């Protein structure tokens, strides 16, 4: 999408004029690598994503989105809502959720004040769905996205939720049984709001779940089990993916700003490496046979996403509105053009690097929320692939089968196959190179039912069962994984990589021979280590 000069803010227009004077606009700001600067030039060099239309594929509209974005209404944000929405739209997102931080000021006035900006953005940018949500300080735990379907009660519902159940507002951050119960009460409130039709829908997803070790396994299970239609998943990959770019070109921190060590409220069972990312993904997702798989082994529908967590964009030249009084006004003044690139910022614009693709049955707010809840989701970094269609089906019977998040029911002993169709990257990403997919891994685990230990975070049956070398860099590739005769409940999920940084998984090479490497603190170029992940498909034999 091309944004006319007349629709830009003064700061954006000034940056564009600077790039024009430098002869950069339209030529791409830099080659691949740490200097792949996000900016309007890249946005304008994009193909017009919607000219081809949102064509159904495998029966669904696969809509890219981001459920974790902060604005000037957030205590640590800068940008206007419309700034984020226009960038997200230009970078190819179909839906997005504004999630300013929960807290006393936000709960008091911020929830109200951001709504008119969101409503205006919905009217101005009609081909990106803009949800209102907030980043919940989960009592006794980390942060989470909470959002609701648009409607006349979206503000009042979010405001009552935040005032009643936010860990910061209620001074309920410490890991106590009472605070854990308050988190469950918050989820029950959302479910009740939907049941009573106060709002059409509501969802919760845990954000950066392993960053500080605060989300214990039993809390995650507790959220999901309390309200499985509301608490549906977690960030498989955190935002802040530019944070690991080495100094002096970047922040020189942990990728995703995963730079913590255990604290007083951290769950003591987590190992030291859980505080780091692996190929940009959270340890809970990246470890084959780890915490995510232990939930899937139980048969729990717990999905993963990938988001920007965008607060302050890497290499952007904006600055917070001067002389702002956030506590008094519930917002910072509009950003200004500073004229100096901020290379200490660790975020990308929504859609610039991390994308969550959901298989929606239409282009609507309700369809996006339903797709997330059903688990028709795959995620990628850096535009590693352009499309993914996966089907599990009974082999040799001409069935269409089922897709991500769904369950294939078969007769015991039936032979089952997993059909994979991947559209390889077909245009440069925002660092201005076309990614190459090198390998696709099929990960399989047994479904063994509820765990007796609610804090277990490994499972012994899950492993990489087959790897496919791609061997080409354009067009479409197809693979088939043969499960053979199915005699027990299993699940299957996919992972793919550019092959630049792999190592045996944390549970050993026999489980995961070529998993993501642990990211190097202060030296992690996100563009040189790309992965995609899918949510699972279940296969259940009838006895």
Is residue 352 packed enough to be buried (19+ CB in 10 Å), middle (13-18) or exposed (0-12)?
buried
Whether residue 160 is predicted with pLDDT greater than 90 in this model: the reply is yes
Write the pLDDT tens digit of every residue in 389-431.
999 999 988 889 999 999 999 999 999 999 999 999 999 999 9
Nearest CA to 237 out of 309, 344, 138 is that of 309
Those residues with Cβ within 8 angstroms of residue 74's Cβ, 6 or more apart along the chain or in another chain: 100, 101, 106, 110, 135, 311
Whether residue 475 is predicted with pLDDT greater than 80 in this model: the reply is yes
Whether residue 11 is predicted with pLDDT greater than 60 in this model: the reply is no
pTM over 0.85: yes
pLDDT band at 53 (very low <50, low <70, confident <90, very high): low
Residue 246, both tokens = 């080495």
Residue 46, both tokens = 């994009």
Residue 285 host element (H or E): helix 283-286
Instruction: Say what angle helices 177-195 and 217-226 make with each other, to 10 degrees.
Output: 20
pLDDT score for 55: 81
pLDDT score for 398: 84
The C-alpha atoms of residue 107 and residue 528 are separated, in whole angstroms, by: 40
The predicted model gives 16-25 an average pLDDT of: 37
Interior angle at CA 25, CA 20 and CA 31, nearest 5: 135
What would the 3-class secondary structure string for 295-336 be? HHHCCCCCEEEECCCECCECCCCEECCCCCCHHHHCCCCCCE
Residue 159 host element (H or E): helix 154-165
The full length of the chain comes to: 543
pLDDT score for 397: 86
The C-alpha atoms of residue 375 and residue 358 are separated, in whole angstroms, by: 8
Neighbouring-strand partners of residue 516:
502
Nearest CA to 342 out of 72, 46, 19, 39 is that of 39
Q: Which domains does the chain have, with CATH numbers?
A: 61-374 (3.20.20.140), 385-541 (2.70.50)
Torsion of CA 212, 215, 216, 218, to 10 degrees: 180
The answer to whether residues 245 and 194 touch, using CB atoms and an 8 Å cutoff, is no
Residue 65 host element (H or E): strand 61-69
What does pLDDT average to over the chain? 91
The C-alpha atoms of residue 440 and residue 146 are separated, in whole angstroms, by: 32
């Amino acid at each position: 999408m091309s944004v006319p000069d007349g629709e830009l803010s003064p700061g954006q227009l000034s940056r564009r004029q600077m790039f024009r004077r430098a002869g950069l606009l339209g030529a791409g700001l830099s080659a691949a690598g740490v200097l792949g600067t996000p900016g309007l030039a890249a946005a304008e060099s994009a193909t017009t994503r919607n000219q081809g239309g949102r064509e159904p594929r495998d029966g669904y509209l696969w809509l890219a989105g981001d459920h974790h974005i902060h604005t000037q209404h957030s205590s640590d944000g800068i940008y206007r809502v419309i700034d984020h929405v226009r960038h997200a739209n230009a970078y190819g997102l179909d839906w997005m959720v504004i999630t300013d931080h929960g807290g006393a000021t936000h709960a008091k006035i911020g929830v109200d004040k951001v709504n008119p900006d969101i409503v205006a953005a919905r009217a101005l940018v009609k081909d990106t769905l803009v949800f209102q949500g907030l980043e919940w300080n989960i009592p006794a735990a980390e942060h989470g996205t909470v959002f609701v379907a648009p409607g006349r009660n979206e503000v009042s519902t979010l405001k009552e939720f935040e005032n009643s159940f936010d860990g910061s507002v209620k001074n309920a951050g410490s890991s106590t049984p009472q605070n854990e119960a308050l988190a469950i009460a918050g989820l029950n409130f959302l479910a009740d709001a939907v049941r009573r039709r106060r709002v059409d829908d509501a969802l919760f997803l845990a954000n950066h779940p392993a960053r500080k070790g605060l989300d214990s396994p039993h809390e995650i299970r507790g959220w999901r089990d309390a309200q499985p239609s509301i608490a549906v998943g977690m960030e498989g990959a955190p935002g802040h993916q530019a944070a690991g770019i080495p100094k002096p070109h970047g922040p020189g921190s942990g990728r995703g700003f995963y730079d913590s060590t255990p604290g007083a409220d951290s769950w003591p069972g987590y190992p030291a490496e859980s505080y780091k990312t692996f190929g940009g993904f959270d340890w809970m997702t990246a470890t084959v046979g780890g915490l995510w798989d232990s939930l899937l082994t139980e048969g729990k529908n717990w999905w993963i996403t990938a988001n920007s967590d965008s607060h302050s964009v890497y290499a952007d030249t904006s600055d917070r509105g001067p002389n702002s009084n956030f506590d008094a006004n519930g917002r910072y003044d509009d950003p200004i053009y500073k004229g100096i690139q901020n290379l200490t910022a660790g975020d990308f614009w929504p859609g610039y690097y991390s994308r969550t693709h959901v298989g929606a049955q239409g282009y609507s707010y309700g369809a996006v929320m339903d797709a997330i809840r059903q688990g028709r989701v795959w995620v990628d970094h850096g535009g590693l692939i352009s499309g993914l269609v996966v089907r599990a089906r009974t082999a040799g019977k001409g069935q269409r089968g089922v897709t991500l998040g769904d369950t294939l029911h078969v007769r015991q002993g039936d032979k089952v196959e997993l059909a994979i169709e991947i559209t390889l990257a077909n245009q440069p990403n925002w660092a201005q190179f076309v990614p190459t997919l090198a390998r696709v891994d099929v990960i399989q685990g047994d479904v063994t039912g509820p765990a007796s230990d609610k804090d277990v975070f490994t499972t012994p049956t899950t492993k990489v069962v087959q790897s496919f070398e791609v061997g080409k860099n354009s067009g479409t590739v197809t693979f088939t994984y043969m499960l053979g005769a199915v005699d027990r409940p299993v699940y299957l999920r996919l992972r793919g990589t550019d092959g630049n940084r792999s190592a045996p998984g944390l549970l050993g090479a026999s489980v995961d021979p070529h998993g993501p490497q642990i990211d190097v603190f202060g030296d992690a170029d996100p563009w040189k280590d790309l992965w995609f992940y899918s949510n699972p498909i279940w296969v259940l034999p009838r006895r």
